[in-house]
Amino acid sequence: MALHEDNRVFCKKTELFSDSFYGTVTKLYEHSVIVKVEPDQLSKKETDKIDSFGDLVVIRMSELQLVDADGNAIDEPEEDEEEVEAAE
Q: What pLDDT does residue 9 have?
A: 95
Q: What pLDDT does residue 51 have?
A: 59
Nearest by Cα to 57 from 47, 65, 66: 47
Q: What pLDDT does residue 82 have?
A: 55
At 21, the amino acid letter reads F
Q: What is the pLDDT along the chain (88 residues), one digit of tens a residue?
A: 589 999 999 998 877 777 789 999 999 999 999 999 888 776 555 655 565 577 888 889 999 999 998 989 987 655 555 556 666 6
Cα separation, 20 vs 35, whole angstroms: 13
Enter the pTM of the model: 0.72
Task: Please provide the DSSP assignment of 27-58 as one string.
Answer: EE-SSEEEEEE-GGGGGGS-GGGTGGGTTEEE
DSSP structural state of residue 74: -
Q: What pLDDT does residue 32 have?
A: 93
